[in-house]
Structure 1
Amino acid sequence: MQTEDVLGIFREAGAILEGHFILTSGLRSPVFLQKARVFMHADKTETLCKALAAKIEESVGKPDYVVGPAVGGIIPAYETSRHLGVPAVWVEREQGTFRLRRFEIEKGARVVIVEDIVTTGLSIRETVECLKALGADVVAAACIVDRSAGKADVGVPLISLAEYEVPAYPVDALPPELAAIPPVKPGSRNI
């Protein structure tokens, strides 16, 4: 599956939005990928995650676990793990820090983190930190769309199904045309 195939699925689902968006990272962008509009369709989600699972297995072999950062990574982690034939678990925030609250994983377990969209890689870096503290061997992270086009440092190798570089700006460096539009925050962090 190529980037255009992935973006075609997002377009079919009406998931490529234009306007002025506050991203989870705090950066601002004229484009938002509303993956929830894709994930509401089991067939589209299956197509993307089956391709991501194949790419993971080709790159690092079969992991012992797939871990998704809550909230956005839960659905793609689950569906990707289904195609890999391994358990899916997730980390969630507890007092602002990711914790593996509902599950245990064995020390030395080979883990791949699966995320929906990567912009700065912060959620993956925080997940890596949590899992390494538990003794897991985080062999890679994977995402459906890498908005940084390979520039985000996630702390482990990043496997992406699509690279789609979209501009993102600090709030104090907005282009005038973006600054003229009221911002909206459609993401899930801090809710």
Structure 2
Amino acid sequence: MQDEEVLAEFRASKALLEGHFLLSSGRHSAHYLQCARVLMDPDRASRLAIAVAGRIPRDLRKEINKVVSPAMGGVIIGHEMGRALGVEAMFVERPTGTFELRRGFALNPGDKVLMVEDVVTTGLSSREAIKAIEAAGGEVVAAAALIDRSAGTADLGVPFYPLIAINFPTYAPDELPPELAATPAIKPGSRAEA
């Protein structure tokens, strides 16, 4: 799947938004990718997951025996990645602020895990999820995502395979350009900030 085809999927599902957005990373942007909208169509979600799986080298794909994603944003794409790779998919969540496996999910010592996100901006959530997976006995051999918004700066500590890199500028609260500063920020993501 080419970059323009991926963006067409986002546009078709009205998942590429423009305005002033406060991202879950705490940064601001004039663009927001609502992955939940692009993934709400099961056929589209399956196509996108197959395309992400195709970015992972074949020999590495053969090693993976579990997919783990962070809740909430990574749950759907993680499930579809499990289907695409023919392995079990589970997720970590933050009941007390720190990612952990719950709901009877468990990893066997040495499980080769692919950590899957919807969007990576700074990589913080991904690194936290990887830490939880390792604490549960898994070995994260790679990470994947629909979208890399980090401009290639996210260091996850493992090979990272995004479907597409979209480098819409993001800004710290004290760096906002005048056109963003003039409008209130909308927080469209699923994670509530404390």
Could you tell me the TM-score, scaled by structure 2's length?
0.94
Distance in 1, matches of 2:189 and 2:157, equals 23
Per the TM alignment, residue 155 of structure 1 is displaced from its structure 2 partner at its CA by 2.1
Per the alignment, do residues 161 and 83 of structure 1 end up closer, same or farther by CA in structure 2, a change over 3 Å counting? same
Say which of 136, 140, 143 aligns to 1:141: 143
Distance in 2, matches of 1:7 and 1:121, equals 21
The 4+ residue runs of structure 1 with deviation greater than 3 A are none
Q: Please, what is the CA RMSD of the aligned residues?
A: 1.3
Per the TM alignment, residue 144 of structure 1 is displaced from its structure 2 partner at its CA by 0.6
Distance in 2, matches of 1:128 and 1:168, equals 24
- How many pairs are equivalent? 191
Please name the residue that 2:25 is paired with.
25
Distance in 2, matches of 1:177 and 1:61, equals 44
Name stretches of at least 5 consecutive residues in structure 1 with no aligned partner. none
2:120 aligned with 1:118: yes
Per the TM alignment, residue 56 of structure 1 is displaced from its structure 2 partner at its CA by 2.6
Say which SS state the counterpart of residue 56 (structure 2) adopts. helix
2:58 aligned with 1:58: yes
Name stretches of at least 5 consecutive residues in structure 2 with no aligned partner. none
2:75 aligned with 1:74: yes
2:63 aligned with 1:91: no
Say which SS state the counterpart of residue 188 (structure 2) adopts. coil
Distance in 1, matches of 2:5 and 2:50, equals 13
Among the aligned pairs, what percent are the same residue?
52
Distance in 1, matches of 2:58 and 2:192, equals 35
Amino acid paired to 2:136: L
Could you tell me the TM-score, scaled by structure 1's length?
0.96
Q: Deviations over 1:138-181 (max 9, x none)?
A: 00100011111321112211101101101110101100111011
